[in-house]
Chains A and B, each alone.
Chain A
Amino acid sequence: MSGLRILVPVKRVIDYAVKPRVNKAQTAVETAGVKHSMNPFDELSIEESVRIRERKSHPQGVADIIAFTAGPPKSADILRTAMAMGADRSIHVETKDGEEIEPLGIAKLLKAVVEKEKIDLVVLGKQSIDDDSGQTGQMLAGLLGWSQATQASKVSFEGDKGVIVDGEVDGGVQKVKGTLPMIITTDLRLNEPRYASLPNIMKAKKKKIEKITAADLGVDVRSRLKTLKVTEPAPRQGGGKVADVDGMISKLKELGAL
């Protein structure tokens, strides 16, 4: 092996701090004119990949970090961000505005890219904060038959092939040892993503974004799920305030919670 080749899939989503609104037709969440950013978990993936390079965590070093996205033309912005954070180049599978490829389709696209680019390690976010499915990494691992370590809070290498990952599980942490090539999905605890500096943002403009289509990769990304409707959740009525602790206790008793 001559240096790790890392693939980092990223997704453009509505910024995490924005409260999403359902559109009038109840077909989707309103996205026009809403602030978008890189999915927060994907920032962690980029950061971790760059750290593996900077800290020389793997004995052979890192040969290439490729950011990938499948999304509308504007997704190129987050590929620039990824490259400003340290990714070497990008691949963009461009979709039409409003068209969203499901996790299975994304996993198939990624599989094709993994094979084409001879990738050793794919670092993905554990979920995108719009669709909240949390499937893509595991699906990709399944399609490739690779080791998977999900919800990683710590990643270290052992020799050429071994990867030790602490992953968040219900009730605590589980440590597994995977074998390269493998798939890791990131949890919030993994690291603190850096801010891209202005010089790095300028440099990123010169880095390459390769545009391809699903058809170029020979992948059928037709949807299996049809969204029948999207609605606002039932609103919750704040019950007002009480003056003191006694008031709280009596109100809780009244509501049958105590």
Chain B
Amino acid sequence: MIPRISHSVLRQTRAQLRSKNGPTPVASLSALARLLSSLAVLEQKDGKLNHSSLGAVTAALKLGGSITGFVAGGNIKAVAEEAAKVKGLEKIIAVDNAAYDKGLPENYAPLLAENIKKGGFTHVIAGHTAFGKGLLPRVAALLDVQQISDITAIEDEKTFVRPIYAGNAIATVESSDEIKVITIRGTAFPAAEAEGGSASIEDGVDPKAACPTEWVSEDLAKSDRPDLATAGKVVSGGRGLKSKEEFDRIMLPLADALGAAVGASRAAVDSGYADNSLQVGQTGKVVAPQLYLCAGISGAIQHLAGMKDSKVIAAINKDADAPIFQVADVGLVGDLFEKVPELTEKLKQ
């Protein structure tokens, strides 16, 4: 109960601060924090809220201040209602227009920019996903703001931590922009609770910007396995698998035995052993599961960039000097064509 009470007190204080005319007396830092107002950009697809985008709410909760969720698309009501239940959100801005269904940045960015200006938000947060990566820089440019990409921590309302150089260095940066436009690394900000909230729903402004780009089609890799970016366990294969047939024969049963998602190194993807969307690394997905089990991956820096925050790393590789063993909690030197099937069998028991 205590958090709820303090929350409502906070809300009242903020309302009082806002209603004052003239210059607001410069109060303590905590009073300033109450003036924070974040917009969490939530993703939806085919009328369903994408729960992994709720990491933006988690990040906003860390900042403090009020949090508004933003959704747009055709027949958005159901998504807005779903979003309204997310814990921590005070308000949902919904824009009902099928033109935004595919999340094309050409019209979505002006839409967001208008709603940000109207709502007077101090922070705009989205996931560092394909959607967020395509959209937020465009929004930032429209607002004349330098965006801060892929943050992993928040120090205060203007200071953020982000990995650079494929995660080989960690930069702490301070923004002097009035509006902070931020994308967050999903593995650093887990999704907010989808239940327990009761936000109000409000219609947003719709500038109906023209979109010079047309969505044609998509081809998504279908899989019953957990989603790579959010899976608790990931098994990943590299060049050592030698062919697509072997990749499928060796890695997929292991994934099934563990209930894990399947990932791959760039070498495996480039050689056609696995789909592009499975690539883990600086230029692919960043994952941080409980268990990252890889076979036939040497551990190049570009690959480590995508998985070295995993809780436990296990590696099977025939080269005892492979760099992957420098980060692996459990390393097994051996032929993956023997060891992985043996591991799969023993895990099934």
Chain A positions near chain B (C-beta within 8 angstroms): 14, 16-17, 19-20, 22, 29, 102-104, 107, 126-127, 129-143, 146-151, 153, 164, 168-179, 182, 187-189, 223-233, 236, 238-242, 244-249, 251-252, 255-258
CB atoms of A245 and B229 under 8 A apart: no
- The answer for the CA separation of A257 and B275 in the assembled complex, in Å, is 26
- The answer for the CA separation of A251 and B329 in the assembled complex, in Å, is 9
Q: Mark B183-217, 1 if CB is under 8 A from A, else 0.
A: 00000000000000000000000000000111111
Shortest Cβ distance from B217 into A: residue: A175
Q: Interface range on chain B: under 10, 10 to 19, 20 to 34, or 35 or more?
A: 35 or more
CB atoms of B104 and A176 under 8 A apart: yes
Q: Which residues between 302 and 339 of chain B lie within 8 Å of chain A, taking CB atoms?
A: 302, 308, 311-314, 316, 320, 325-334, 339
List chain A residues, Cβ under 8 A from B311.
Answer: 257
Asked whether B61 is an interface residue with its Cβ less than 8 Å from the other chain, the reply is no
CB atoms of A138 and B106 under 8 A apart: no
List chain A residues, Cβ under 8 A from B220.
Answer: 171-173
Q: Which residues between 129 and 163 of chain B lie within 8 Å of chain A, taking CB atoms?
A: 129-131, 133-142, 144-150, 159, 162-163
In the assembled complex, 24 residue pairs joining A and B whose CB atoms fall closer than 8 Å, in A order, are A102-B146, A104-B145, A141-B106, A142-B140, A150-B130, A171-B227, A172-B221, A175-B215, A176-B215, A179-B212, A188-B266, A224-B177, A225-B146, A225-B148, A226-B174, A232-B170, A233-B163, A236-B327, A242-B332, A244-B332, A246-B346, A251-B330, A252-B314, A258-B291
- The answer for the CA separation of A258 and B314 in the assembled complex, in Å, is 11
Given contacts A138-B133, A172-B220, A223-B146, 20 further A-B contacts (CB under 8 A): A16-B302, A29-B168, A132-B162, A135-B140, A136-B137, A138-B136, A138-B138, A140-B141, A142-B141, A146-B212, A147-B212, A170-B229, A225-B176, A231-B172, A233-B169, A239-B328, A245-B346, A251-B330, A252-B314, A257-B290
- The answer for the CA separation of A230 and B146 in the assembled complex, in Å, is 19
List chain A residues, Cβ under 8 A from B136.
Answer: 138
B140, B170, B171, B333: the one within 8 Å of A104 (CB):
B140
